[in-house]
Amino acid sequence: MGEWRVCKRRVVVYIANSQTRKFTNSPYSFLLLVLLVLAGCGRLAQSSQPTLEVILTNLDNPRGVFVEADGTLWVAEAGIGYDAVDPTEMTGKLTLFVDQNGDGDFDDAGEADRWFTHFPTYNALQFFGTGRDEVNGPGDLWRHPDGRIYLTVDGGFDDVALYEISPEGRIGRTLADRSNMNGIAFAPDYERIYMVESTGNRLAEVTLDDGEYRAIVDFPLLDSGQQAVPAGVAVDPRTGEVLVALFSGTAVDANDQTIPLVAGDAKVVRVNPETGETVDEVVGLTAVVDIAIDEEGNLIVLEMTANHADPLPRLHDLFDPDAEPVHGGYLRYSGRVTVYPASGRPSYTIATGLDMPTNVTVGPDGALYISTGQGTPGRPIPGPDGPTTITGQVIQISNYLQSNP
C-alpha cells in the first residue's frame, strides 16, 4: 500500500514498499524486468498520483455541484446566512460556470452565468441557537437528461422546497416541501427522485410525472441515542439500492453537556428502496455529510469534520471581521475524503485537512468535485498556518482510484 500525503493543492501517493522477483539467466530476463517495471510505473502514473486543485473560490457556501459532459458546472450556493426581510437582499444562488479561457478554473471574469441570486438563506446559530455557524439555503441539485434542474432550498421553518426549474430558467413546480432536503439523487430510470430529510430522519421519493410522495424509511436513533440526521444520498448503479449518509445529531456527553456530534457514531447505510430494509454499509465514521458512487460501484465518503469545537453564543456577531478566530461549533480544517473500493479492498483516504466540506459529486470525467467552506463567509477562524477566514471553494480531485491489487 502507498502512503497518502496531502499538500495545499495536491494529493500525492508515495510507494512505501515494493516486491522483488527472481529471474533466471535467460537472455529475455532483463527485457521482461524492464517491461514489468514500465507496466508498474504506468499503473502508478494512472492511479497513484491524485491531484487536488481549487477550481472555484470566493463562493458563498457552495453546496451541490452538477458537472455537464462539456465540463461546465452548475453550483448551488447557500448564501451568507443573513436572513434578510427584503427578498432582493437574499443571497442564495444558482449559477452556471463556464471555463471560457480554458485555464482549468472558473474564477475569471465572464465565467459565471447567474441564473438565480436571491434564494432564501439563514444561519442555524441565530435561528435555533445551535452554537454552530451553519448556513442554510440552496442545497443539493441535479440536472435531468431532458434539461430540467432539481434544486433543494432550505429557507428555515416552513420555507423549504424541492424546485423544478425549466431548461429556460423558470421555476415551476415545488415537488416536495415537508422537511429540509440536504441530499437528492435520481432513480436509475430518471422517473423518481430520492431525497433525505434531515430534520425528519427520513428517506423518501417523489415521482416526477405526478409529484406523488412516498416515505421509504424513517431512520432510528444512533448508538449514543442521537437523531440519525440523514445528510447525503446516492444510488448504486449496479443494483438500484440507495446509500444514505447518517451524519448523527446532538448527544449528551459524560458531563451531561449537549454536544453536536459523537465521533465515530456516523455511518453509511444501504437501503432497499422498495421495502425500506436497511443494512449498515460503513460504520465508525464522524460527521459523514455526503456520499457519491461511480459506475463501478466505488463509494466515496465525505466527512465534514473530525469533532466539535468552540461553540458560539446565539448573539455572536458572525460578520465582525476583527473578531477572535474561533472554530464556531465544528473543528475547522479536519474534513476528509475516503474511497471504499467496489472490489472489497481496504479503504483509503485521498484528502484530509479540508475546511468543512459539505458536498461531493462524481463528474462525467471521473473526477470528484467537493464543496468546502461551510459557515459565514469572511468570518475569522483558526487555520492550519495561523488565523484565516472562511472561504467557499469547489475543489477537484482527479486520478484518485488505486488500481494496484
Of 62, 113, 124, 51, which is closest to residue 360 (Cα–Cα)?
62
Domain ranges of the chain: 8-16+47-398
CA-based end-to-end distance of the chain: 9
Three-state DSSP state, 39: helix
Question: Are the beta carbons of 64 and 53 closer than 8 angstroms?
Answer: no
Distances, alpha carbon 328 to alpha carbons 41, 81, 320, 355, 390, in Å: 45, 14, 13, 12, 11
Partners of residue 197 on adjacent β-strands: 181, 202
Looking at residue 403, its pLDDT comes to 73
Distances, alpha carbon 298 to alpha carbons 143, 281, 295, in Å: 22, 12, 8
Question: Are the beta carbons of 65 and 78 closer than 8 angstroms?
Answer: no
Helix, strand, coil content of the chain in percent (nearest 5):
5, 45, 50
Q: Strand 386-389 to strand 171-176: parallel, antiparallel, or no bridges (unpaired)?
A: unpaired
C-alpha cell at 79: 448564501
Q: 8-16+47-398 maps to which CATH number? A: 2.120.10.30
Looking at residue 26, its pLDDT comes to 37
Looking at residue 50, its pLDDT comes to 86
Radius of gyration of the chain (CA): 22
Looking at residue 158, its pLDDT comes to 84
Residues 186, 13: Cα–Cα separation, whole Å = 34
Distances, alpha carbon 265 to alpha carbons 191, 283, 290, 291, in Å: 34, 7, 15, 16
Looking at residue 350, its pLDDT comes to 97
Looking at residue 48, its pLDDT comes to 60
Q: Taking CA 242 as the corner, what is the angle to CA 156 and CA 150, rounded to the nearest 5 degrees?
A: 45
Looking at residue 49, its pLDDT comes to 75
* Ordered per-residue pLDDT tens for the chain, 405 residues: 333 333 333 333 322 333 322 323 333 333 333 333 333 333 333 446 789 999 999 999 999 999 999 999 999 999 999 999 999 999 999 999 999 999 999 999 999 999 999 999 999 999 999 999 999 999 999 999 999 999 999 999 889 999 999 999 999 999 999 899 999 999 999 999 999 999 999 999 999 999 999 999 999 999 999 999 999 999 999 999 999 999 999 999 988 999 999 999 999 999 999 999 999 999 999 999 999 999 999 999 999 999 999 999 999 999 999 999 999 999 999 999 999 999 999 999 999 999 999 999 999 999 999 999 999 999 999 999 999 999 999 999 999 998 754
